């Protein structure tokens, strides 16, 4: 108990990197009480114009989930429990559009390797949106921040030039990570690049810290046995949060009413 108290205290200091804005405030669609998030953690000035236009036209929506083991679903009981699969199900029941989420997560990758796959694993699918989960393996290996930022910026530009919206997802909250001196530096680096290129940031680290401190979802429940990768419950909540985050940043989706609970699959 004393160790957990120390970790929670450290987590609270780390959780406040990029000050969220509050200009985008569409309806909240959450029905799962276990996955609730403080609204300020989902607020961001940046919008998703290509995604919003596709929703408005009723066009098919293709999303590529790009990242490492948290995207691949390491720690989940099956690929259907990974966050990209949850995201696909959530968007399909909230939108009239056809939705496809393509999982392109590769465990253990640092940003150089992930960025090198953009031409193979992202662009050929002509996605409307790319959710890029970044930073965990780089911070664990203490990779230089300058190189990390440069590669992240170049990847965003490359995808934007092909008409893709981009959302960045920060590292997960995990106990060992809260003891690392470079965690806050990586969170700030992601925010700097996001601010520079007007890219929305899904603050997974802060969101998971909120779940832990508020009692929404305990650390042993949202993480797998290794206390590093996420669990089925953690991925389920993350997928729901990502869906809500995307819709919050698409003005066209604000006119769409969520399906009644009785009609949700």
Q: Where are the alpha helices (DSSP H) in 162-182?
A: 175-178
Residue 148 has pLDDT above 80, yes or no: yes
Residue ranges covered by each domain of the chain:
2-254
User: How is 231-261 classified by DSSP, letter by letter?
Assistant: -HHHHHHHHHHHHHHHHHT-GGGGGSPPPPG
Please tell me what DSSP assigns to residue 215.
Answer: T
User: Is 122:112 a contact under the CB 8 Å cutoff?
Assistant: no
Confidence of residue 30 (pLDDT cuts 50, 70, 90): very low
Residue 236: pLDDT above 90?
yes
Helices then strands, counting H and E runs in the chain, come out as 12, 5
Q: Looking at residue 209, what is its pLDDT?
A: 94
Buried b (16+ CB within 10 A) or exposed e, 122-156: bbeeebbbbbbbbbbbbbbeebebeebbebbbebb
Whats the size of the chain, residue-wise?
Answer: 265
pTM to 2 decimal places: 0.84
Provide CATH code, domain 2-254. Answer: 3.40.50.1110
- Name the pairing type of β-strands 129-133 and 201-202: unpaired
């Amino acid at each position: 108990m004393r160790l957990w108290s120390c970790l929670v205290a450290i987590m609270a200091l780390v959780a406040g990197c990029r000050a969220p804005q509050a200009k985008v405030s569409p309806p909240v669609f959450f029905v799962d009480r276990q996955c609730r998030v403080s609204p300020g953690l989902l607020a961001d000035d940046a919008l998703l114009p290509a995604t919003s236009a596709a929703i408005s036209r009723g066009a098919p929506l293709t999303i590529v989930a790009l990242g490492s083991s948290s995207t691949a679903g390491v720690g989940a009981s099956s690929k259907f429990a990974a966050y990209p699969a949850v995201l696909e199900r959530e968007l399909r029941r909230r939108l009239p559009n056809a939705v496809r989420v393509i999982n392109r997560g590769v465990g253990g990758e640092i940003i150089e390797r992930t960025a090198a796959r953009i031409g193979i694993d992202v662009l050929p699918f002509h996605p409307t949106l790319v959710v890029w989960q970044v930073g965990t393996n780089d911070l664990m290996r203490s990779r230089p921040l300058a190189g990390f930022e440069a590669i992240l910026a170049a990847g965003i530009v490359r995808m934007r030039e092909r008409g893709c919206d981009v959302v960045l997802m920060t590292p997960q909250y995990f106990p060992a990570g809260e003891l690392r001196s470079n965690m806050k530096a990586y969170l700030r680096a992601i925010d700097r690049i996001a601010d520079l290129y007007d890219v929305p940031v899904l603050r997974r680290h802060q969101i998971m810290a909120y779940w832990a401190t508020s009692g929404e979802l305990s650390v042993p429940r949202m993480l797998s046995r290794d206390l590093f990768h996420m669990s089925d419950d953690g991925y389920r909540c993350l997928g729901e949060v990502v869906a809500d985050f995307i819709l919050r940043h698409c003005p066209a989706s604000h006119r769409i009413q969520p399906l009644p609970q009785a009609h949700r699959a």
